[in-house]
């Protein structure tokens, strides 16, 4: 992590539309992760109980005698304002940690092609910053979440823009709900390109279709922004393992990119 280590431990919380991912970093590495469902109906008390029980059930709390109240710093990234308020209340009520919300206005050294980048999601910023710091080259970053996002950051740390498309699961669920004769299926690698039954046909359309879309975007970005080459194409997000075998333009799978980005952003802020 480029010698940007902080007093330990550090809690990173990434609040997304479908999931809330939490990670504890020690010595610059993630040593514990937990994934919660993004329920806006949950109170801060309920989230605190859930998170505490998850931490207590691991060997981390036994080995390091670590509890949530022992954490001095928290990096928070969120794209759900309602949950941001709930989690900030959790932190202020139960913890003594200093909380830093990471977003496009954080002083990270990233430059933008727009005057006001406030509309750019925290997850996009975390991915861009992590790619810039970890790979030190122009990076095309694909994040497979509720939405599929594709972004480009130059080796100089300039955010060149982004693409937002329906996510793999989001598109599939919409297909299942809108087509009367189609049914929900498990998303697995398609066995053939041209399906010989409904399940195979849907798997091909969903998985291959998403992969072909991503490969085309990668190719077009490399063409239109060729002045920024060479490029590193990075895939992250929960569906990475499913999609990565079908992408011809992919260089790296980095499932921890987003959480590393929030951690590294906190390091940058506190070292200034």
Catalytic residue numbers read 123
Closest CA to 198 of 213, 171, 180: 180
> What's the CA gap between 101 and 152, in Å, rounded?
23
User: What's the count of helices (H) and strands (E) in the chain, helices before strands?
Assistant: 9, 11
Round the CA-based radius of gyration of the chain to a whole number and report it.
Answer: 20
> What's the CA gap between 65 and 74, in Å, rounded?
18
CB-count burial class (<10 Å; 0-12, 13-18, 19+) for 196? exposed
Buried b (16+ CB within 10 A) or exposed e, 68-92: beebebbbbbbbbeebbebbbebbe
């Amino acid at each position: 992590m480029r010698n940007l280590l902080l007093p330990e431990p550090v809690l990173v919380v990434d609040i997304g539309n479908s999931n809330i991912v939490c990670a504890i970093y020690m010595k610059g590495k993630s040593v514990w992760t937990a994934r919660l469902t993004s329920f806006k109906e949950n109170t801060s008390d309920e989230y605190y109980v859930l998170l505490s029980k998850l931490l207590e059930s691991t060997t981390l709390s036994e080995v390091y005698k670590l509890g949530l109240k022992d954490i001095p710093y928290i990096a928070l990234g969120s794209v759900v304002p309602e949950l941001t308020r709930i989690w900030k209340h959790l932190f202020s009520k139960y913890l003594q940690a200093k909380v830093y919300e990471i977003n496009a206005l954080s002083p990270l050294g990233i430059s933008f092609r727009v005057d006001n980048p406030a509309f750019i999601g925290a997850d996009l910023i975390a991915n861009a910053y992590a790619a810039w710091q970890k790979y030190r080259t122009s990076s095309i970053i694909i994040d497979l979440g509720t939405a599929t996002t594709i972004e480009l950051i130059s080796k100089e740390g300039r955010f060149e823009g982004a693409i937002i498309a329906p996510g793999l699961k989001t598109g599939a669920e919409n297909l299942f709900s809108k087509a009367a004769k189609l049914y929900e299926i498990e998303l697995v690698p398609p066995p053939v390109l041209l399906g010989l039954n409904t399940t195979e046909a849907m798997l091909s359309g969903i998985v291959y279709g998403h992969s072909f879309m991503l490969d085309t975007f990668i190719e077009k970005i490399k063409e239109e922004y060729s002045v920024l080459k060479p490029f590193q194409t990075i895939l992250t997000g929960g569906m990475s393992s499913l999609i990565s075998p079908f992408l011809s333009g992919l260089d790296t799978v980095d499932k921890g990119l987003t959480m590393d980005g929030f951690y590294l952003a906190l390091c940058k802020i506190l070292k200034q």
